[in-house]
């Protein structure tokens, strides 16, 4: 019997579950045949079998004849062992699933997520900042070559593979991603880093053209001189990695304390932050938006990348545009934009 249990343990989970169900069902009819007076129907027999193999043992039904008791003893050994095998396989399945997820081998099935490509300390900080944001509760998916997931969070998913491979991009759910960000490689020559980023961005844009989809792509580049190549590749937005620090340092030197202002606007752990909003339907001009937002405790600062709207308050707000404001979390959540 123990040799039989070992053989059963090697069978896949689905087959073991089917075998167990058929065995328990057959046992119900067997005990009904052996003791029809105690177990008046096969269903009563099935009830007794399940309470026995799960070790619940209510005691409402039990065999009273020697053949029934002998079969009960057999059921204790074989039936309970079968339940143990099933539970063990279920645990193994969860363990196997967890290992596949840690190794980045599972497809991402969600939608409207942020897709990040390339792992580094700056990427880690970016992920933490996204997950800290309470206004956007969306997932973050990372593509990289590391052997195991470098970050753990309920809303974080890791995909291992080559980001220029279409299958890997599809595995990461690029078709339903809110946006795709390509980060520069660390510890690499600036030209090589930008070249690798450009190659990945080009693969994404080519896939977008072939699949006839709009994929918003953001790339981190090392030198501004390379930006025209990224524009030619169809990248929607790029961030200058090395040149942002000198500009920030220069501002801090020229205007003492200004660095704290920028850090506050860039980090969700501070009180005031930059938020993106859709204009209310009753706002016709920037002046309407400015006055309405001011009354609610928020400052209107820009329309997309245009900071000059403060000098054009009488101008009409374009359709299908976004506005940027500065306020705290509570004010943002209480804004009336109807």
How high does pLDDT run on average in the chain?
85
- Residue 266: predicted pLDDT: 65
**In the chain, which segments carry CATH 3.40.50.720?**
114-244
State the CATH architecture for 114-244: 3-Layer(aba) Sandwich (3.40)
Beta strands in the chain (DSSP E): 114-117, 140-144, 156-160, 179-182, 217-221, 237-240, 272-277, 299-303, 323-328
Total-model pTM: 0.64
CATH code reported for the domain at 2-102: 1.10.287.70
Residue linked to tokens 């053989």: 7
Give the pLDDT mean for 279-288: 92
Local confidence band at 131 (pLDDT 50, 70, 90 cut-offs): confident
- pLDDT of residue 54 exceeding 60, the answer is yes
- 23 alpha-carbon distance from chain centroid: 41
Domain span(s) for CATH 1.10.287.70 in the chain: 2-102
pLDDT tens digits, 174-194? 999 999 999 988 777 888 889
pLDDT single digits (tens) 63-122: 989 998 998 888 888 887 788 778 777 777 777 778 888 899 999 999 999 999 999 888
| pLDDT in the model for residue 272 | 79
Residue 135 has pLDDT above 90, yes or no: no
Question: What was the pLDDT predicted at 270?
Answer: 62
């Amino acid at each position: 019997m123990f040799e039989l249990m070992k053989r059963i343990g090697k069978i896949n989970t689905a087959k073991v579950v089917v075998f167990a169900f058929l065995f328990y069902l057959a046992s119900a009819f067997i005990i009904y045949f052996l003791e029809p007076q105690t177990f008046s129907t096969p269903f009563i027999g099935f009830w007794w079998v399940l309470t026995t193999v799960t070790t619940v043992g209510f005691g409402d039904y039990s065999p009273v004849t020697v053949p029934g008791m002998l079969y009960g003893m057999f059921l204790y050994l074989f039936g309970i062992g079968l339940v143990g095998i099933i539970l063990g396989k279920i645990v193994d399945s969860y363990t196997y699933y967890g290992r596949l997820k840690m190794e980045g081998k599972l497809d991402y099935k969600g939608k409207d997520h942020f897709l990040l490509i390339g792992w580094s300390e700056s990427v880690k900080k970016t992920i933490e900042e996204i997950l800290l944001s309470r206004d956007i509760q969306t997932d973050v998916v990372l593509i990289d070559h590391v052997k195991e997931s470098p970050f753990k969070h309920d809303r974080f998913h890791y995909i291992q593979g080559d980001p220029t491979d279409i299958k890997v991009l599809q595995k990461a759910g690029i078709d339903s991603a809110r946006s795709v960000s390509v980060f520069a490689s660390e510890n690499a020559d600036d030209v090589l880093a930008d070249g690798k980023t450009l190659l990945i961005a080009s693969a994404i844009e080519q896939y977008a053209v072939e699949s006839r989809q709009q994929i918003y792509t953001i790339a981190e580049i090392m030198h501004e001189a390379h930006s025209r190549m990224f524009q030619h590749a169809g990248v929607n937005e790029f961030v200058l990695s090395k040149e942002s620090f000198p500009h920030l340092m220069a501002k801090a030197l020229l205007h003492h304390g200004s660095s704290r202002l920028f850090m506050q606007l860039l980090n969700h752990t501070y009180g005031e932050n930059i938020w993106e909003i859709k204009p209310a339907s009753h706002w016709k001009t920037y002046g309407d938006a400015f006055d309405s937002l001011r009354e609610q405790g928020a400052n209107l600062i820009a329309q997309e990348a245009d900071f000059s709207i403060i000098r054009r308050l009488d101008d009409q707000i374009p359709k299908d545009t976004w506005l940027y404001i500065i306020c705290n979390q509570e004010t943002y959540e209480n804004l009336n934009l109807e």
